[in-house]
Amino acid sequence: MATTVSITGSSQIDELKRKQAVEKVLELTTDELVRLASLKDNEKARSYLSSAAKFAILKTFM
């Protein structure tokens, strides 16, 4: 079953980056995707994604 998702961005480059990111996320299993989505509502997790320095620390940890 195919579903259409509309992706918009603040510019064509932003829209392309978003599309590429969504395509990569779709490669995750359903369980992985659900767990990733659960981080969306976690302020601390989002702070690690929105800060380049914190994200670098997270990647190093992993």
Determine the pLDDT at residue 23. Answer: 94
Give CA–CA dist 26/4, Å, rounded.
13
Task: Specify the pLDDT at position 62.
Answer: 87
Confidence (pLDDT) at 10: 96
Residue 22 has a pLDDT of: 94
Q: What is the pLDDT along the chain (62 residues), one digit of tens a residue?
A: 888 989 999 999 999 999 999 999 999 999 999 999 999 999 999 999 999 999 999 999 88
Crossing angle of helices 43-50 and 52-61, in 10° steps, is 100
| Whole-number pLDDT of residue 44 | 94
Cβ atoms of 4 and 12 within 8 Å: the answer is no
